Chain A
Amino acid sequence: MIRLVIAEDSAILRDGLVQLLVERGHDVVAKVAAPTN
């Protein structure tokens, strides 16, 4: 399991990526849409 932060402005791509990575057993600790929140 890898602990991940996902930074992607496209909501569709971001959420899709999160879903795929969680299904692979990874821990997405944060997902953000911009370099600075």
Chain B
Amino acid sequence: MIEAVNEFTPDVAVVDVRMPPTFTDEGLVAAVALRRSHPGVGFLVFSQWVETRYATELLAGDPEGVGYLLKDRVTDIAEFDDALHRVASGGTALDPEVVRQLIGSRPQSTVLDRLTPREHEVLELMAEGHSNSALAQHLSITERAVEKHVSAIFSKLDLPPSQAHHRRVLAVVTYLNS
């Protein structure tokens, strides 16, 4: 894989976490190293089970252009294709189950405690990589209402007004690191 990414500089590398020779985390280790040397390449890793340590490792620092899906998700090609497009365009694509387990493993008291349950829901969907329009559709609310929730999240997480996309990424980073 390392050679292939060096030679072809793809838009996205789709990588199994567990690969030879030991079938533990070789794929992930290679993906993390390649993210540093090829910041323009997206990495979509997948594994059989949710492994929060691996997800945290992959998302540490800058979560742009990165995704983590369960293998079961690959069987839904439309959903997988959607995740590929998000990662290729610099977004994130996290399996809902990965997000749920990351939340479950976070400390009891964090900056996220400032958020309302609805804002938690919005941020969780942002972490999965959904756009505002997709969020509106998912939550059955208007895009304007989504924008208000997102704005409140930025404010409560002390993210200063700057480039909207950058703040969105920072909010997701805060969420995943909390």
Chain A residues at the B interface, C-beta cutoff of 8 Å: 2-10, 13, 17, 20-21, 24, 26, 29-30, 32-37
Which residues of B pack against A, CB within 8 Å? 1-5, 7-8, 10-16, 18-21, 23, 26-27, 29-30, 71, 74, 77, 81, 84-85, 88
Give chain B residues whose Cβ lies under 8 Å from the Cβ of A29.
Answer: 4, 8, 10
Most interface-central of B14, B74, B84 (chain A CB within 10 A): B14
Bound CA–CA A5/B30 (angstroms): 13
B8→A3 contact, CB < 8 A: yes
Q: Which residues of A contact B27 (CB under 8 A)?
A: 7, 35
Report whether A36 and B14 are in contact in the complex, using a CB–CB cutoff of 8 Å.
no
- Judged by DSSP, the binding face of B is helix
In the complex the two chains form, what is the Cα distance from A35 to B31 in whole Å?
Answer: 9
B20 & A33 in contact (Cβ 8 Å cutoff)? yes
Check B81 against A17 for contact (C-beta < 8 Å). no
The reply to whether B7 and A2 form a contact with Cβ atoms under 8 Å apart is: no
A26 to B82, CA, bound (A): 12
